[in-house]
Amino acid sequence: MVTVLILAGGKSDRMGQDKALMDGGVAHLRALALDAEVERIITLCGDDNRIPLFEGEVWPDPPQCTSLREVLEWAFGKIEGAIQLIPCDAFQLQRSGLEFLLDCDGGVPFDEHGKRQPLLAHCPGKWTPILSGRDVSSLFSNLQDLDAGKLTRQMKNFNTPVD
């Protein structure tokens, strides 16, 4: 079984608004996962006060976690089986791109500019994150690179209104 983790921790300062609610946001990503017959979808929502913004299984960040890396480490320890990450700003992700990720043996896709996108990582069930690094990317440094071919344009996240 694959668990989809939708990352929706809060308002983006660079974007100027809550990305989890833009362009269909989490609701759109959750619908994609349901359409792809994913059995378990968890939205990591940040603060407790964000829980009502989302449907389904929603987890607030534990108080001891002060960074996304720490939240991911905590979540990985609570979930059995494969995990598919999806950031709430994966506005171009469609069912074909999600199915590509779900069907792979694990890895981190490239976006259309050749940049590795760790927040779209597919983490196989027996995978162990690299805990010795300091940033989010290092958690996934032992996962292979994924070239999604024609679907590469879907493997992007957005950080500024210009994106």
pLDDT exceeds 60 at position 75 = yes
pLDDT exceeds 80 at position 103 = yes
Domain boundaries, the chain: 2-154
Give the pLDDT score at 17. Answer: 58
pLDDT exceeds 50 at position 135 = yes
Give the pLDDT score at 121. Answer: 97
Which residues pair with residue 157 across a beta bridge?
A: none
Element (H, E) at 60: strand 57-60
Q: Give all strands of the β-sheet with 40-46 in edge-to-edge order.
A: 57-60, 40-46, 2-7, 82-87, 122-123
Question: Can you tell me the mean pLDDT for 14-33?
Answer: 72
Report the DSSP pairing between strands 82-87 and 122-123: antiparallel
Residue 161 binned pLDDT confidence (cut-offs 50, 70, 90): very low
pLDDT exceeds 60 at position 158 = no
Give the pLDDT score at 162. Answer: 43
> Measured between alpha carbons, how far is 108 from 91 in angstroms, rounded to an integer?
18
User: In the numeric block, which tokens belong to residue 79?
Assistant: 């979930």
Residues in CB range of 19: below 8 A, 6 or more apart:
8, 11, 12, 25, 88, 89, 158
pLDDT exceeds 70 at position 18 = no
Question: Can you tell me the mean pLDDT for 109-121?
Answer: 94
Give the pLDDT score at 141. Answer: 95
pLDDT exceeds 90 at position 16 = no
Give the pLDDT score at 19. Answer: 58
Q: Does domain 2-154 have CATH number 3.90.550.10?
A: yes
Nearest to 23, CA basis, from 122, 91, 109: 91
> Measured between alpha carbons, how far is 45 from 59 in angstroms, rounded to an integer?
6
Residue 102 binned pLDDT confidence (cut-offs 50, 70, 90): very high
